Structure 1
Amino acid sequence: MSTTSPGRPRDPGVDRRVLRAALDLFGDAGWAGFAMEAVAKRAAVGKASLYLRYRDKETLLTDALTANLPHVADVDTGTLHGDLVELARQILDVYAGPAGRAAMRLLLEGRAIPGIAGQYETTRRAQMRAARAIVRRGMDRGELPPATSVRLLLETLAGGAMMHALTTAPARSDQAHRLVDFLLNTVVNHPRQGHPGGHDNVDE
């Protein structure tokens, strides 16, 4: 958590500027190029002011990610198609939105960053459980073949959304619908037959 100064009250505008600068720097330069002095320069604040707020760069980056990075959460619209569209939209919001570069850096480097790895892993597992709950509801309602690989379906959905975000700017507003329509048409109309391991562990 950030530290507070015993002096005059914190300026919320400066706080937001610092966190945004930290997020942008991480997205541009990664952990190797992330430094308190560089964040202060981007945010147009003095180094002393920055160190009054944050004791180290790990704490600063943690707060920047918490404040600015969208999260993927379980959504129950009543249908598998609707749930997956909302899931795809959330993934597109993460990787095609203002925090997209930082989100990609976190995906690539999160496990190796001191002070960030634990939080990253906890968040990743919570998001995967939520996403898999969506697919399991669809299977329970009979909207998916029983042998559907939960892992492969979600990896295909997430990978398709991420690739679109990385290669198409701006992202298409209807991309979530297009991706889910294609994916469900493939899974429902061409289910796997006799392939072992269709039921992936949804709690990993």
Structure 2
Amino acid sequence: MTATPRPSPGRPRDDQVDHRIADAAVELFGRKGWASFSIEAVARLAGVGKASVYLRWRNKEELLVEALKLRMGRISDVDTGTVRGDLVELVQQLLTLYTGERGQAALRLGIEARGIPGLAERYEDMAQAQILAARAIVRRGIRRGELPENTSVTFLLDAVCGGAMNHALTVPPALGPLTAEAMADYAEHFVDFVLTSVLSGP
């Protein structure tokens, strides 16, 4: 269960400071990983005193868990009315997650979460929710008759989700951050490519 930051005595909490600390925590985790993550380093990056962090969180485990909850995007199930539209939306969400300003943290989370005290359980819950959302898209497409009944949910999502992550990781830095238009264009063409393979059969 995620711990709630402790209320501080005296003056009311400043939400802007909360957000600065959370942003700094996610950025530091993304750049340096858990081994270099500390209250002191987060405070320096956020431009606040160490005491300000400890007034809100008891330790670095609580800080990182809460920061990821506050500032990390999640993959959700969006029903556009067609399986193509749903998969395009899924790919765009994945690209936004992995190429956005918190993309490094999202990637590290998948690698390190299970070894971080207090975060492993929350990560499993988040990962499971994302898996269920993605699987719902494919199952809905099968029920609608848009996909063959024998479509492998696992293989289709491995192709779509794996392809989206690979694209996010391999775009040359020289090209700069992916724009919303570039992500939308890639998502549509990529989903069409995958669906053509699925619908053409063996």
**Could you tell me the TM-score, scaled by structure 1's length?**
0.90
Aligned-partner Cα distance in 2 for 1:155–1:164: 14
Equivalent in the alignment of 1:20: 23
Aligned-partner Cα distance in 1 for 2:85–2:198: 16
> Is 1:181 equivalent to 2:187 in the alignment?
no
Aligned-partner Cα distance in 2 for 1:65–1:110: 11
Aligned-partner Cα distance in 2 for 1:158–1:146: 21
AA partner of residue 107 (structure 1): G
Equivalent in the alignment of 1:68: 71
- Measure how far apart 1:162 and its partner are: 1.0
Aligned-partner Cα distance in 1 for 2:88–2:155: 17
AA partner of residue 88 (structure 2): V
Structure 1: 5+ residue stretches without partners: 193-204
Name whichever structure is richer in helix by fraction: 2
Give the total of aligned pairs.
191
Structure 2: 5+ residue stretches without partners: none
Aligned-partner Cα distance in 1 for 2:177–2:56: 35
Percent same amino acid among aligned pairs?
Answer: 55
AA partner of residue 141 (structure 1): R
AA partner of residue 45 (structure 1): V
AA partner of residue 53 (structure 1): R
Deviations 1:122-181 (A, max 9, x none): 111111111101100101111112221111111111111111111224222311112111
Structure 2 residue corresponding to 1:43, chosen from 43, 46, 68: 46
* More deviation, 157-166/79-88: 157-166
**Could you tell me the TM-score, scaled by structure 2's length?**
0.91
- Measure how far apart 1:112 and its partner are: 1.5
Structure 2 residue corresponding to 1:57, chosen from 57, 60, 67: 60
Equivalent in the alignment of 2:116: 113
Structure 2 residue corresponding to 1:170, chosen from 173, 177, 182: 177
Aligned-partner Cα distance in 1 for 2:154–2:116: 26
- Other structure's SS at 1:184 match: helix
Equivalent in the alignment of 1:125: 128
- Other structure's SS at 2:194 match: helix
AA partner of residue 167 (structure 2): H
Equivalent in the alignment of 1:200: none
> Is 1:134 equivalent to 2:161 in the alignment?
no
* More deviation, 162-171/57-66: 162-171
- Other structure's SS at 2:23 match: helix
Equivalent in the alignment of 2:37: 34
Aligned-partner Cα distance in 2 for 1:16–1:122: 23
Equivalent in the alignment of 1:148: 151
Equivalent in the alignment of 1:8: 11
- Backbone CA RMSD of aligned residues: 1.1
